[in-house]
């Protein structure tokens, strides 16, 4: 898939042959969840914003992101989108009027013939632009998609963040339409896992991205089955903050300073304190066996 920053965009012609011009879906699309996919379906181009607009206009309310721009591009490519156009969102862009966004971006830069949005999409200075303003413009067709409900709940990035925070990765994955993943560099730890017979790759979670709540999860780590613990290790007094520890099954190698990508398949249990290291090791053996079964079923 082609990825282009808006300032570098080569305009698609609107005039001439029938069908010329872009069919574009517009939105932040953090997570590329099932609701986003309804908006994106049939579009040949996606227009998005980087960084998240809230981080510019109301930084105190910046959400924990579900996807990096690179992950977003991967998911869009899997959906058959041919082009991702990225608006470098900053204070100057946030100050542009809704009319300017339509004239300069949708028409002037993209040459849009069709624009697809969700019903809650807002744009322009102080979010003054809305679907009605787009639909009133005769230079392109506007498709407004209603918010998607699943089991009586609106599918939204914020709802999925809540599910992840509660540890419900299975439901989060169902609403995402893909397996939630996060990545980070493997850091040196205190080798507590190695002493217990379960050497782990330690990842310090980024403050910018959503992370599943404390507990133990069946995951894939770079495609390998892995039992992953997220928390503060209550059985031991370590003085460390929150940590992600991944035990890769049937793996013997050096992962230090590599970037490890974790895909969360299922939550095994919550974080708990054990009376002894021996009791913890017994539970870890059970966690590993369950992880093996879940990873095999995931295929």
How far apart, in whole angstroms, are the C-alpha atoms of residue 139 and residue 235?
A: 64
H or E element, residue 26: strand 22-26
One fold for both 2-154 and 179-298? Answer: no
pLDDT in tens, 240-263: 468 999 999 999 888 988 999 999
Higher pLDDT pick, 26 / 196: 26
Average confidence (pLDDT) over 151-176: 97
Predicted pLDDT at 236: 46
What is the side-by-side strand order in the sheet with 22-26? 2-5, 83-88, 45-50, 22-26, 112-118, 141-145
- Note the Cα 171 to chain centre separation in Å: 15
Flag whether pLDDT at 16 surpasses 50: no
Determine contact, residues 46/9, Cβ cutoff 8 Å: no
Q: In which element (H, E) is residue 288 found?
A: helix 277-298
- Decide: 225 and 249 in contact? Cβ < 8 Å: yes
Beta-bridge partners for 243: 231
Q: What is the pLDDT of residues 47-81, one digit of tens each?
A: 999 999 999 999 999 999 999 999 999 999 999 99
pLDDT digits (tens, 9 = 90+) for 129-147: 999 999 999 999 999 999 9
Class of domain 179-298: mainly beta
> For the segment 208-246, what is each residue's pLDDT rounded down to a tens digit?
999 999 999 999 999 999 999 999 865 445 544 689 999
Position 254 scores a pLDDT of: 87
Say if residue 191's pLDDT is above 70.
no
Distance CA 40, CA 149 (A): 16
Helix, strand or coil for residue 102?
A: helix
| Chain mean pLDDT for the chain | 92
CB 28, CB 49: distance < 8 Å: yes
The span from the CA of 257 to the CA of 220, in Å, is: 18
Q: Which two tokens stand for residue 293?
A: 């079964």
pTM: 0.92
CA 16 to chain centre: 38
Name every residue whose Cβ is closer than 8 Å to that of residue 230 and which is 6 or more positions away in sequence: 205, 211, 212, 213, 214, 215, 216, 217, 242, 243, 244, 245, 271
**How many residues are listed for the chain in this entry?**
299
Contact 246, 219 (CB under 8 A): yes
Comparison of pLDDT for 41 and 193, the residue scoring more:
41
Q: Which are the contacts of 99, defined by CB distance < 8 A and separation ≥ 6?
A: 124, 129
Question: What superfamily does domain 2-154 belong to in CATH?
Answer: HUPs (3.40.50.620)
Q: What is the bridge-based pairing of β-strands 153-154 and 181-187?
A: unpaired
Q: Tell me how far apart the alpha carbons of residues 66 and 181 are, in angstroms, rounded to a whole number.
A: 8
Domains of the chain, by residue range, sit at: 2-154, 179-298
Which residues are within 8 A (CB) of 234 and not within 5 positions of it... i.e. 6 or more apart? 271, 272, 273
């Amino acid at each position: 898939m082609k990825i282009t920053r808006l300032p570098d965009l080569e305009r698609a012609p609107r005039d001439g042959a029938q069908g010329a011009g872009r069919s574009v879906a517009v939105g932040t699309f953090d997570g590329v969840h099932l609701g986003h996919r309804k908006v994106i379906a049939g579009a040949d181009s996606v227009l998005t914003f980087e960084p998240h607009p809230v981080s510019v206009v109301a930084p105190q309310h910046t959400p924990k992101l579900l996807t990096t721009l690179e992950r977003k591009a991967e998911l869009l490519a899997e959906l058959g989108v041919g082009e991702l156009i990225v608006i470098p969102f900053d204070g100057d862009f946030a100050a542009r009027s809704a009319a300017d966004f339509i004239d300069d971006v949708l028409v002037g830069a993209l040459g849009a013939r069709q624009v697809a949005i969700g019903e809650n999409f807002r744009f322009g200075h102080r979010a003054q632009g809305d679907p009605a303003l787009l639909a009133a413009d005769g230079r392109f067709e506007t498709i407004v998609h209603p918010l998607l409900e699943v089991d009586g709940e609106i599918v939204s990035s914020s709802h999925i963040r809540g599910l992840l925070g509660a540890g419900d990765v299975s439901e989060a994955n169902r609403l995402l339409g893909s397996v939630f993943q996060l990545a980070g560099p493997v850091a040196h730890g205190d080798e507590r896992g190695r002493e217990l017979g379960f050497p782990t790759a330690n990842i310090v979670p980024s403050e910018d991205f959503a992370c599943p709540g404390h507990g133990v999860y069946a995951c894939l780590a770079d495609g390998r089955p892995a039992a992953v613990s997220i928390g503060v290790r209550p059985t031991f007094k370590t003085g460390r903050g929150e940590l992600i520890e991944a035990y890769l099954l049937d793996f013997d190698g050096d992962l230090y300073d590599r970037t490890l990508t974790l895909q969360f398949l299922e939550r095994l249990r919550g974080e708990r304190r054990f009376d002894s290291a021996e009791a913890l090791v017994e539970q870890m053996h059970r966690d590993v066996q369950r992880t093996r079964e879940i990873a095999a079923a995931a295929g």
